[in-house]
Structure 1
Amino acid sequence: MKTGRSIDVPVETPSGTSRSVTRRVLLASTIGSAIEWYDFYLYSTAAALVLGPLFFPSRSPTAGTLAAFATYAAGFVARPLGGLLFGHFGDRIGRKSMLVLTLLIMGTATFLVGVLPTYQQAGVVAPVLLVTLRVLQGIGLGGEWGGGVLMSGESAPVNRRGLYASFPASGFPLGLFASTVMFRLVSELPEHQLLTWGWRLPFLASIGLVVVGVFVRRGVPESPEFVRVRKAGRQARMPLAGVLRQGPTPVLRGALASLGLAMIVSVYSVYLLSYASAGPPAGQGPKVLNGLLAGALLEALLLPVMGLLSDRLGRRPVMLFGYAVCAVVGLVAPRWLLSGSQTLIILTFVLALGIGHAAVYGAVSAFLIDMFPPEHRYSALAVTYQLGATIASFGPLVATALAGSAHTAGPGMWLLWACLTAAAVAVAAGRYRLPGVPTPSARPAEQPRAGAGPPGHGTR
Structure 2
Amino acid sequence: MQPPEKTQGEDVTVPVVSGAEAGKIARAAFVGTALEWYDYFLFGTAAAIVFNRLFFTELDPTAATMAAFATFGVGFAARPLGAVLFGYIGDRVGRRPALLITIVAIGVATGLIGLLPDFGSIGLAAPIMLAILRLVQGLAVGGEWGGAMTIAVEHAPIEKRGRYAALVQVGSPVGTLMSSGAFALVLLMPAEVFDSWGWRLPFLAAFPLLLVALYIRLKVEESPIFNELVKLEERAKIPAVDVFRLAWGRLIVAIMAAFLGVGGFYVMTTFVISYGTTTLGMDRQLMVNATLIAAVVQIGVILVIGRISEKIGPGRMTFIGGLVTAAAAFPLFWLIDTRNPAAIILAVTLGIGLLSVAYSVTGALLTELFPPKLRYSGVALGYNLAGALSGFLPLIAVALLGVSGGASWTASVLLIVVSLITAAGGFFGERLRVKDKAIVK
Query: What TM-score comes out, normalization by structure 2 length?
Result: 0.93
User: Which moved further from structure 2: 316-325 or 82-91?
Assistant: 316-325
Partner of 1:449: none
Deviation at 1:116, TM superposition (A): 0.3
Partner of 2:18: 14
Q: Deviations over 1:372-405 (max 9, x none)?
A: 1111111111221111111011111112122239
- Residues 1:60 and 2:65 aligned together: no
> What is the percentage of aligned positions where both structures have the same residue?
34
Partner of 2:202: 202
**Aligned residue type for 1:188:** L
Q: Contact 1:14–1:157 (CA<8 Å) still a contact in 2?
A: yes
Q: Contact 2:146–2:379 (CA<8 Å) still a contact in 1?
A: yes
**Aligned residue type for 1:239:** P
Q: Contact 1:315–1:432 (CA<8 Å) still a contact in 2?
A: no
**Aligned residue type for 2:97:** S
Secondary structure of the residue that 1:221 maps to in structure 2?
coil
Deviation at 1:279, TM superposition (A): 4.8
5 Å matches for 1:61-460? 61-280=61-280, 282-354=281-353, 356-404=354-402, 406-429=405-428, 432=431
Deviation at 1:179, TM superposition (A): 0.1
Q: Contact 2:147–2:380 (CA<8 Å) still a contact in 1?
A: no
May I ask how many residue pairs the two structures share in their alignment? 431
Secondary structure of the residue that 1:296 maps to in structure 2?
helix
Taking the aligned partners of 2:236 and 2:62, their CA distance within structure 1 comes to 48
| Alpha-carbon spacing, 1:7–1:78, altered in 2? closer, same or farther (3 Å) | closer
**Aligned residue type for 1:363:** V
Deviation at 1:358, TM superposition (A): 2.1
Deviation at 1:431, TM superposition (A): 5.1
Q: Contact 1:255–1:385 (CA<8 Å) still a contact in 2?
A: yes
| Alpha-carbon spacing, 1:395–1:5, altered in 2? closer, same or farther (3 Å) | closer
- Residues 1:51 and 2:51 aligned together: yes
Deviation at 1:430, TM superposition (A): 5.8
Q: Deviations over 1:295-340 (max 9, x none)?
A: 1111122212211111111112311222223223321222322323
Partner of 1:38: 38
**Gaps spanning 5+ residues in structure 1: where?**
437-454
Taking the aligned partners of 1:96 and 1:152, their CA distance within structure 2 comes to 11
Deviation at 1:357, TM superposition (A): 2.5
**Aligned residue type for 1:360:** A
Secondary structure of the residue that 1:278 maps to in structure 2?
helix
Deviation at 1:7, TM superposition (A): 6.8
Taking the aligned partners of 2:429 and 2:383, their CA distance within structure 1 comes to 18
User: Which moved further from structure 2: 390-399 or 245-254?
Assistant: 245-254
Deviation at 1:102, TM superposition (A): 0.5
Taking the aligned partners of 1:174 and 1:80, their CA distance within structure 2 comes to 24
**Aligned residue type for 2:278:** A
| Alpha-carbon spacing, 1:149–1:247, altered in 2? closer, same or farther (3 Å) | closer
Taking the aligned partners of 1:265 and 1:207, their CA distance within structure 2 comes to 26
Deviation at 1:456, TM superposition (A): 6.6
Q: Deviations over 1:191-250 (max 9, x none)?
A: 111111111010001111000000000011111111111122221111123313434321
**Gaps spanning 5+ residues in structure 2: where?**
none
**Aligned residue type for 2:18:** P
User: Which moved further from structure 2: 288-297 or 200-209?
Assistant: 288-297
